[in-house]
Amino acid sequence: MKRREVLKKAGVGAVGLGAAGLALKPRKASAKKVYHWKMVTTWPPHFPVLGESADLIAKWVEEMSGGRLKITVYGGGELVPPLGVFDAVSSGTVEMGHGAAYYWAGKHPATQFFAAVPFGLNAQGMNAWIISGGGQQLWDELYAKFNLKAWPAGNTGVQMGGWFNKEIKTIDDLKGLKMRIPGLGGKVLAKAGGNAVLVAGGEIYTNLDRGVIDATEWVGPYHDYKMGFYKAAKFYYYPGWHEPGTTLECMVNKKKFEALPKDLQAIIVAACARSNMWSLCEFEAKNESYLQILVDKHHVKLRKFPDPVLAQLKKYTVEVLDDLKKKDPYTKKVCEAYEAFKVQYGKWNEISEESYARLKYL
């Protein structure tokens, strides 16, 4: 009897352990959720470098996520107007946007510092400020007011000064000039007596060709050649005092971003960082060869802005920044942080990059 009792109990225990074992067995993994997002841009569809950057971010995100996050990219005007990107992403109409922060100066003047400042930081300096110098934290703080988050997703490098239908010999030649120029550069032009006009990239050539504007800035030789500006204006000026290193942005709706799994959030950030490097390299690798095509084949008249003109524009820039700091407390905070970093960066740059650049004259 005792033996039977022991065996019986042992059997019950075995059954119990077997059930526990079944319960602890991992269940068959369910299919991962697939997210479908939309990205709108300020650029025409598949625009060289700028629009391509948005396309590549979508491609890289899908690849890195194993197809769990699929992003459909829409060029400017396909889903929302080119300059309607900020509102569309902020409201949650779409999840992502691609453009440049100075286009949103009407939303908040501080946005401009995360794109370009006249006589300010170059591409290397902008990356240093945003990524490691406190700029990203300020950007996050500002965009959170609009339910947005953004990261650097490209840079043009030092731009050209623009295309003009007449020579610029003195500062007075800018008076009355109608020029397509966004951001703080447009405000500096206004100080010089010019008229700053903001139009989307896809509309610039037509406006220049028809005389709606007298001049335009854009990016640099590679992209300007693709835009065909040499057909509408022959004077091509440098340097790009107004945009010495313009940062492009990829923005997301903050609530929708935070609702994503952490790994997908990290993938988006990584794709933006990759695009940031790729875009700058594209411009730097191609600008010189296309400048030679413009000059040698299309007989574009390359000109440097006279030093007195640049000196006066720099004075006007100081006035513009001072005006901004007086009008808005948060803009003052961002501007002062930017200026402090510029001084710090400039001291090191003089010892490093500038000193090295001067070696060519030895």
Domains of the chain: 35-156+245-284 (3.40.190.170)
Cβ-based neighbour number of residue 135 at 10 Å? 23
Cβ-based neighbour number of residue 105 at 10 Å? 20
Residue 198 and residue 284: Cα distance in Å, rounded?
26
Dump pLDDT digits (tens) for 149-208: 999 999 999 999 999 999 999 999 999 999 999 899 999 999 999 999 988 778 899 999
pLDDT at position 360: 73
pLDDT at position 110: 97
pLDDT mean over 74-92: 97
CA 162 to chain centre: 20
| pLDDT surpassing 60 at residue 18 | no
Task: Say which residues have a Cβ less than 8 Å from residue 80's Cβ, sequence separation at least 6.
Answer: 40, 74, 87, 88, 93, 94
Task: Place 31 in a pLDDT band, splitting at 50, 70 and 90.
Answer: low
Dump pLDDT digits (tens) for 242-294: 999 999 999 999 999 999 999 999 999 999 999 999 999 999 999 999 999 99
| pLDDT surpassing 60 at residue 17 | no
- The enclosing H or E element of 98 equals strand 96-99
Cβ-based neighbour number of residue 333 at 10 Å? 15
Residue 185 and residue 298: Cα distance in Å, rounded?
28
Q: What's the residue count for the chain?
A: 362
Crossing angle of the two packed helices 183-191 and 307-327, in degrees rounded to 10? 110
Residue 61 and residue 58: Cα distance in Å, rounded?
5
Dump pLDDT digits (tens) for 300-334: 999 999 999 999 999 999 999 999 999 899 999 99
Cis peptide before 109 (omega within 30 of 0): no
Dump pLDDT digits (tens) for 212-233: 999 999 999 999 999 999 999 9
pTM score of the predicted model: 0.88
Among 310, 308, 335, CA closest to 323 = 335
How many helices (H) and strands (E) in the chain? 13, 11
Task: Say which residues have a Cβ less than 8 Å from residue 67's Cβ, sequence separation at least 6.
Answer: 34
